[in-house]
Chain A
Amino acid sequence: MSGEAAVFWVFAALTLGSAAIVVLSRTLIYSAFALLVTFFGVAGLYVLLGADFLAATQLLVYVGGILVLLLFGVMLTHKIYDLDLRTETTQLASGLWVAGGLFVVLTAVALKTEWPARARLPASTTTPIGRLFLGEYLLPFEAASVLLLVALMGAAMIVRRRRDA
């Protein structure tokens, strides 16, 4: 087994395994930390795929930002344990059917389809992506700033204690 393949399988197992824990664990904190591992796994896969900029962004934003936020959410709501096993088990069965069915369908799509084969050989992506942001994808790039403004204002406004009008 080549080096690349070995690394792939390691990261794949890491990602899927931790994702399973996220979804199935009874303890919220374990889910949160498992999610951390999932994000790392995905970042590793990005590196394998030659997406260096994206891997760094994944770590910075997903792990450094979103996950920290989720952890705060877990801590501040004091609900470390997700109770009521009875409901969990009955719902789990039907959930498994739906999720399993979707997985089968999507795998079929993945394997049956003749995907075009235009390879992009790994090279540093940061500069080209930067050029694209200010070139072809300029409008979404700028629009994203409006999105972030709205989210920032919105989140702050929702959480803030009612001010005296």
Chain B
Amino acid sequence: MIGLSHYLVLSAGLFGLGILGLLTRRNAVNVLMSIELILNSANLNLVAFSRYAAGNLGGQVFAVFVIVVAAAEVAVALAIVLTLYRLRRTPNLDDAQVLKG
């Protein structure tokens, strides 16, 4: 029987992987992808809770808003990455030497 805990552990795994990517990746686009994993894991939680624990659609509505926010965030982030790339020819984070401390 598949229950709530299955989904929760799955999303915990997704979250963990997202954090791992966040900490280890040097390329900005990769970090963005890891952040999307984190957002998806939270969404999975919300939908699972909506189905099993809350009995209402609040979680699903919340999840729709999360998707909206994610889209806006990615748009702005990529715009910045693109501009940075134009200026410096590399989207690597570690090469951002100018700002220190």
Q: Which of A82-105 contact B (CB under 8 A)?
A: 82, 84, 87-88, 91-92, 94-96, 98-100, 102-103
Interface of A is mostly: helix
Quick one: closest B residue to A140, CB to CB? B65
A117→B52 contact, CB < 8 A: yes
Which residues of the other chain, B, contact A4 by a CB distance below 8 angstroms? 2
Contact of A79 among B14, B27, B69 (CB under 8 A): B27
Q: How far is the CB of B89 from chain A (nearest CB, A)?
A: 9
B96: interface (CB < 8 Å): no
CB distance from A10 to the nearest CB of B (A): 12
A31-B30, A51-B47 given as contacts; is B2 within 8 A of A23 (CB)? no
Q: Mark each residue of chain A from 28 to 65: 1 if its CB lies under 8 Å from any CB of chain B, else 0.
A: 10011001001100100110111101100110011001
- The distance from the CB of B41 to the nearest CB of chain A, in whole angstroms, is 9
**Contact present for A70 and B32 (CB under 8 Å):** yes
Instruction: Choose from A74, A98, A129, A152 the contact partner of B61 (Cβ within 8 Å).
Output: A129
- Cβ distance A66 to chain B, nearest Cβ, rounded Å: 5
0/1 string, B43-64, CB within 8 A of A gives 1: 1100111111111111011011
Residues of A within 8 A of B68 (CB): 61, 144, 147-148
Chain A to chain B: the 10 pairs with minimum beta-carbon distance, closest first? A118-B55, A103-B16, A110-B8, A151-B72, A99-B20, A106-B12, A23-B21, A95-B23, A155-B79, A158-B79
